[in-house]
A and B are shown apart, each in its own frame.
Chain A
Amino acid sequence: MARIVVDEADFDVGAEIAVLTAGRTDIGGIGCFIGTVRDTAPGAPEVAALTLEHYPAMTDKALGRIVAEAEQRWPLLGCTVIHRVGRLLPGENIVLVIAASAHRQAALDATAFLIDWLKTKAPFWKREDLASGEHIWVEARDSDDAAAERWERRS
């Protein structure tokens, strides 16, 4: 049901939504998140490009599990996760998450859940290639862990 893609190629958001909704009249709300490459952060050197590395065999399993978890928690009618890898320039797309449901809250919550868990549980790594020629591996942020943590179920 869900469409999960990891590829160097760019994605077309409109085309992806069209694929997800083709022939369907039961969808009432579609949530969408797009992550893009930015070239600046306060106090940081200028980024010329971002290189995305991943662990292919584990990425497939991890994304499959994250999507399955979302499908279990919300009544989704469609779901798309696309993550690009390789060298990406500022302004380019990195990641697309789409979640469709009968109502907006499930669609919006599932979208937030999917990107929050993807950022902390799927094996991708970002390397910033600086304008100076050096490169820096992006460090994981505590705020991302906190964002993912809010979806953990307490028993």
Chain B
Amino acid sequence: MIAILYFAWLRERTGLSEEKFPLPPGETTVADLIAILGERYPAAFQNRRSIRCAVNQEFADPGVVLRAGDEVAFFPPVTGG
């Protein structure tokens, strides 16, 4: 099981701040997870170039392999300051 967090318009378009997600059998990368979530929340994951990911609070590339207990966050490019 992993925790998935959504921020900004990803939170609005999924309608969720956070959810628990069971990892499928075998190796799952960030890219694999995005593909799965893209089927579930097409409006949120439509424009994948505008989506950033963090795993355990660190920016993560699509190739990062997920492990049970990870905290995975999806959000748009940051705009603070």
Interface of A toward B, CB cutoff 8 Å: 35, 52-55, 57-58, 61-62, 83, 94-95, 115, 118-127, 137-140, 144
> In this assembly, does B41 line the interface, its C-beta being within 8 Å of a C-beta of chain A?
no
A122-B8 contact given A55-B54, A58-B57, A61-B58, CB 8 Å threshold: no
Residues from 45 to 73 in B contacting A, C-beta threshold 8 Å: 54, 57-59, 71, 73
Please measure, in the bound complex, the distance between the C-alpha atom of A120 and the C-alpha atom of B52, giving whole angstroms: 12
Residues of B within 8 A of A35 (CB): 81
B81 touches A53 (CB 8 A): no
Q: A115 with B78: in contact, given A53-B7, A53-B8 (CB under 8 Å)? A: no
Contacts of B78 in A (CB 8 A): 119-125, 140
Partner among B9, B57, B73, B81 whose Cβ is within 8 Å of the Cβ of A124: B81
Measured between beta carbons, the chain A residues less than 8 angstroms from B54 are 55, 58, 123
* Complex alpha-carbon distance, A137 and B7, angstroms: 11
8 A-B contacts (beta carbon < 8 Å): A55-B7, A57-B57, A58-B58, A122-B78, A123-B78, A126-B80, A137-B8, A137-B9
A-contacting residues of B (Cβ < 8 Å)?
5, 7-9, 54, 57-59, 71, 73, 75-81
- B81 to chain A: closest residue by CB: A119
The 3 closest A-B pairs by CB, nearest first: A124-B80, A140-B77, A119-B81
Tell me the complex Cα distance, A120–B81, Å.
9
Inter-chain pairs besides A115-B81, A124-B79, 16 sampled, C-beta below 8 Å:
A35-B81, A52-B80, A53-B7, A53-B8, A55-B73, A58-B58, A95-B80, A118-B81, A121-B59, A122-B80, A123-B73, A124-B81, A125-B8, A126-B79, A126-B80, A137-B9
Bound-complex Cα distance A35 to B78 (A): 16
Q: Are A123 and B77 in contact (CB under 8 A)?
A: no
CA separation between A122 and B8, bound complex, in Å? 14
Q: Are A127 and B8 in contact (CB under 8 A)?
A: yes
